[in-house]
Amino acid sequence: MAQISMQQVKELRERTQAGLNDCRSALVEADGNIDAAVEIILKKGLAKSAKRAGAVAAEGEVRALVAPDKKSAAIVEVNIQTDFAARDPEFRDFVGLAVSAAMSAASGTELGSEPSGATTLDEVRQALVGKLGENIVLRRWERLSIDGPGEVTSYVHMGGKIGVLLAVRCGNAAGEQSPAFKKLIEETAMQIAAMAPQYLSPSQVPESVRAKQAEIFDAQLVEEGKPDKVRPGIIQGKLRKWLEETCLLEQKSVLETEKTVAQLVAETAEAAKTSVELVRFVRFERGEGIEKPVKEDFASEVARMSQG
């Protein structure tokens, strides 16, 4: 029987997210072969699929798909429990089915109810849960479209961790084909991915959100001991700064740091000799807002088991 090292156990655990004892047992059964141990864990996972159906799925992929005419695009986030399973070809194929379904789904539809061959997308999902032994969630989707001159573009960063859709309207077909217009939409999509704006412009920020942010700033100033008479002015300054960070058009460009995105839009319109308008954007970041359980780190788990 091969000698099993803690480094092998650690590697297998990182690849599969399985428990320490499961990893060690699988390696013993596989005579120290990591790939064979992975297969053993996956096979054992089939028997646990029912238990895992309610488990937290925060890994997975964000994927986008743009129509050939670039007038519409869809984006989906599909989650699974482990990064290892997210790289499985069958899971990736399922993400492809999901984003294709999103291209034609009616607004507000539960994506799982969309047809996929002779069955529904959710039935495909359930079968894959049983096969991979991990919970899979069709978490969210969006589709953007534009009429007339303009384009919907996408940008996916870090292998599916962050995805962006951006719809930009143009005054005429010639402007739509200009290099300046193409450059703007590509770089603005990357800006959205990098800087995570919440709104397009200050006019889109709800008054309730502004008021809540003002309350937060005021509480911070009270904590700092700022007197009542100076706080309103400081709060307004902080709100202006907050809007510059929160609204896409107010943000400083990550590529041309002396200019705002609004200034770049104006320069593009001048170069393309037509009007240019950012219409809407969508940004998904994989797992954002999902509460993940705090897992015991590897060293602590080894220490605990050795004590036991």
Number of Cβ within 10 Å of residue 197's Cβ equals 19
User: Residue 276, class by beta-carbon neighbours within 10 Å (0-12 exposed, 13-18 middle, 19+ buried)?
Assistant: buried
pTM (predicted TM-score): 0.78
305 pLDDT band, cuts 50/70/90, is low
Q: Which of 209-213, 268-272, 304-308 has the lowest mean pLDDT?
A: 304-308
Q: State which amino acid sits at residue 157.
A: H
List Cβ neighbours of 98 (8 Å cut-off, separation of 6 or more): 63, 76, 78, 111, 121, 138, 141
* 201, 249 contact by CB (below 8 A): yes
Q: pLDDT digits over 134-189, tens only?
A: 999 999 999 999 999 999 999 999 999 999 999 999 999 999 999 999 999 999 99
pLDDT tens track for 79-122:
999 999 999 999 999 999 999 999 999 998 999 999 999 999 99
Query: d(Cα 70, Cα 198) in Å, to the nearest integer?
Result: 24
Q: Would you identify the CATH topology of the domain 1-47?
A: Helicase, Ruva Protein; domain 3 (1.10.8)
Over the stretch 266-285, which tens digit does the pLDDT of each residue have? 999 999 999 999 999 999 99
pLDDT of residue 49: 38
Measured distance CA(111)–CA(115) in Å, rounded: 9
**Amino acid sitting at position 293:** P
Q: Is the domain defined by 50-145 classed in CATH 3.40.50.2300?
A: no
Contacts of 153 (CB under 8 A, 6+ apart): 66, 70, 73, 165, 166, 168, 185, 186, 189
| CA pseudo-torsion sign 26, 29, 32, 38 | negative
* DSSP annotation of 87: T
Please report, for the chain, the start and end positions of each structural domain, with discontinuous segments joined by +.
Answer: 1-47, 50-145
CA distance 216 to 189: 30
Residues 153, 166 contacting (CB under 8 angstroms)? yes
Q: What is the pLDDT of residue 14?
A: 73
Cα–Cα distance for residue pair 15/188, rounded to 1 Å: 35
